[in-house]
Amino acid sequence: NAGVTQTPKFRILKIGQSMTLQCTQDMNHNYMYWYRQDPGMGLKLIYYSVGAGITDKGEVPNGYNVSRSTTEDFPLRLELAAPSQTSVYFCASSYRLAGEDNEQYFGPGTRLTVT
């Protein structure tokens, strides 16, 4: 079991460029999440998905898009990158939606710098 994997580990983007952060889980979890972590700001939820074909906005969705075509994959798309999107991005998955007493498993993170 690889758990939750993310690619790339590091990326430097120029302002206005686009990219997709990849996330894959092999635990057959229905629920997947994208967070960003800025120093001193904790983990902010960007988007989450309750199953293939279903996504919903979190606390900070502006500037991002997601899709969920399979149970395993939950890519995060940045269009027109801005310096404010410089952050560490974590993908996570869980068997049930939090609130029903279930652990979230996090990926190793992607460190993104926009200059």
Partner 1 sequence: GENVEQHPSTLSVQEGDSAVIKCTYSDSASNYFPWYKQELGKRPQLIIDIRSNVGEKKDQRIAVTLNKTAKHFSLHITETQPEDSAVYFCAASRAGTALIFGKGTTLSVSS
On whether the CB atoms of residues 22 and 109 are closer than 8 A, the answer is no
On whether the CB atoms of residues 64 and 78 are closer than 8 A, the answer is yes
Per-residue x/- track, 38-77, partner 1 (CB under 8 A): --xxxxxx--x---------xx------------------
Burial of 27 (0-12, 13-18, 19+ CB in 10 A): middle
| Choices 10-18, 21-29, 69-77, 91-99 (CB under 8 A): range interacting with partner 1 | 91-99
Look at residue 84 and give its three-state secondary structure: helix
Binding residues for partner 1, total number by CB under 8 A: 23
Residues that bind partner 1 (CB under 8 A): 33, 35, 40-45, 48, 58-59, 90, 97-101, 103-104, 106-109
